[in-house]
Structure 1
Amino acid sequence: MSDVLDFHLDDLVAANADSEYVEQRFWSGDLMVLAEHHTTADDSHSYVVAHDGSITWGIPGKPQVAAFKVSRDPILNTFTVEASYHATVPFAQNWLIEHGCPPERIARVGDGFMTPADNLTVQVEQQIRESGSRYEVLDSQTWDIDLCETWTLTHDSHADQVPVRVFLEEGNRDARTYTMREGAFADEVTARHWLGDRSSQLPCPPEFRGEATALRTRAAFARSGGASAMPKAGVDAHRTPPAGTTHRPNPERSM
């Protein structure tokens, strides 16, 4: 995996105005590659997930993970490029998979970034990554200072009950790990109230409750038995962003 973003556009020109705008909008120095896949067929493609450091200096809370799909036509010497922003890496990977990237080629994040703290995090991320168009993103917030927390508010089209889902990612800089948890709510108002209040645990989805509880119990038992410290799970986090919180670049985050 390359540390430098390269769409392999040498001697190619944009096929349309939208692609030209997207290509000129980004500076490679702002983008840290997290995952990528490139093909070299006649109609070659690049699929890239990257952290956009420039976002940390903009409006607080905006998504910082960019997904890029580039298509190159060597016969016409042209390219097209599409970009989409997401709060966390699994949603960016999902977007690329929906746009033609082989799932197994974009699933792995490069070395040197935060890693999942537990099996439940791995399971929830895979669920998002392979969900297709299941989740409609309603809102998201990213804090990369103090809290190192990101949430994505969605509507789950596969849920018969409590269809509003919150995916809460919480990082632990000291351990260089993060957790991802899914919460289920009856409606958007209730979900937003929980996000602002945090006086109760994140409600577990009913279809996932038994397995999630078992995983949490095993993690708690390991901690009480003297195992190496793990970050506090997002379901136990009652913290809210401190007043006046501002963004700072945090390239070590896995997103």
Structure 2
Amino acid sequence: MPSYEPDFRLDGYEAVNNNVAEQFWGSIGIEQDDMTVLAEHHSADGEHSFFVMHNRAVTWGIPGEPQIAALHLKRDPATRTFRFASEMLPLPSMAQSWLVARGCPEEEILLPDGMGTAPANDATRALEKRLRSDGDHFALLTSYTYDSEPIETTVLLRALDEKAALPFRVLLEEVDSDAWTHTLREGGFQTFEAATQWWEAHWRGDKPPLPAASPAARHTTVAATGVPARPAPPRGPSR
């Protein structure tokens, strides 16, 4: 992954208060040197900046934690102060969705060619587009990123619509390190228990197939935050 340290364009700006300053340092600034910008967009008036970044520091921490940082900076040119919001997410498309929901134009936050792995097929591209463009139908319950070979990420989502036919979804991203491509697939489950059973079997090495999500519901995608109604499933294997 290319080394591209972020420029947050905060010269001459200060956090709006001490609390924001401490939060920014604790969640972004302290690990800025370990972050690689995957995509960024800055509004023409200079008041907003949006970043999708990979945080290498996460790979040295708790196994399985999300490695993609989404950051929205909001500047006030009149007072030369800034606020921010950020979220750690397991997939770039989910980080993009989080930023789009906060006002970033979708077409401006796409990853440029050569930045990260490329989608391996049209199905992956279509699913990533759905995830980017419609970020308020599902809540993120848990995820696991396995960054050794074979590189995989699993994500468990819950529909916010209580009437959804398949309220629990699993996303599975698999990386082909030789071809430098990735595939992303989606499975639908009627119950939390069924999704958990698939999750446990997958990380045991059984590799069960993902049950298809219903076509009528596949246009919806991921909300980046959410509190699970039940305990999250096992996170995945240890390194």
TM-score range, shorter chain: 0.7 to 0.9
Counterpart residue type for residue 89 of structure 2: H
Change (3 A) 1:173 1:161: same
Counterpart residue type for residue 78 of structure 1: T
Aligned pairs (5 A) from 1:238-249: 245-246=238-239
Distance 2:111 2:149 in 1: 27
How many matched pairs? 213
Runs of 5+ in structure 1 lacking a partner? 210-239, 247-255
Alpha-carbon contact 1:35-1:110 (below 8 Å) kept: no
2:190 to 167, 186, 191: 186
Aligned to 1:203: 211
Distance 2:112 2:143 in 1: 21
Aligned to 1:68: 71
What is the Cα deviation at residue 144 of structure 1? 0.3
Identity of aligned residues (%): 35
Distance 1:207 1:63 in 2: 28
What is the Cα deviation at residue 131 of structure 1? 1.5
* TM-score normalised by the chain length of structure 2: 0.82
Distance 2:140 2:157 in 1: 4
What is the Cα deviation at residue 241 of structure 1? 6.2
Alpha-carbon contact 1:22-1:82 (below 8 Å) kept: no
Matched, 1:86 2:73: no
Change (3 A) 1:85 1:112: closer
Matched, 1:102 2:105: yes
Distance 1:22 1:5 in 2: 18
What is the Cα deviation at residue 39 of structure 1? 1.7
Matched, 1:135 2:138: yes
Specify the SS of the correspondent of 1:165: strand
What is the Cα deviation at residue 208 of structure 1? 6.7
Aligned to 1:36: 40
Specify the SS of the correspondent of 1:94: helix
- Summarize deviations over 1:51-70 as a string: whole Å, max 9, x none: 01111111111111000000
Counterpart residue type for residue 49 of structure 2: S
Counterpart residue type for residue 202 of structure 1: L
Runs of 5+ in structure 2 lacking a partner? 218-234
RMSD of aligned C-alpha atoms?
2.2
What is the Cα deviation at residue 112 of structure 1? 3.8
Alpha-carbon contact 1:63-1:142 (below 8 Å) kept: yes
Distance 2:155 2:236 in 1: 15
Distance 2:93 2:170 in 1: 14
Mean CA deviation greater in 129-138 or 172-181: 129-138
* TM-score normalised by the chain length of structure 1: 0.77
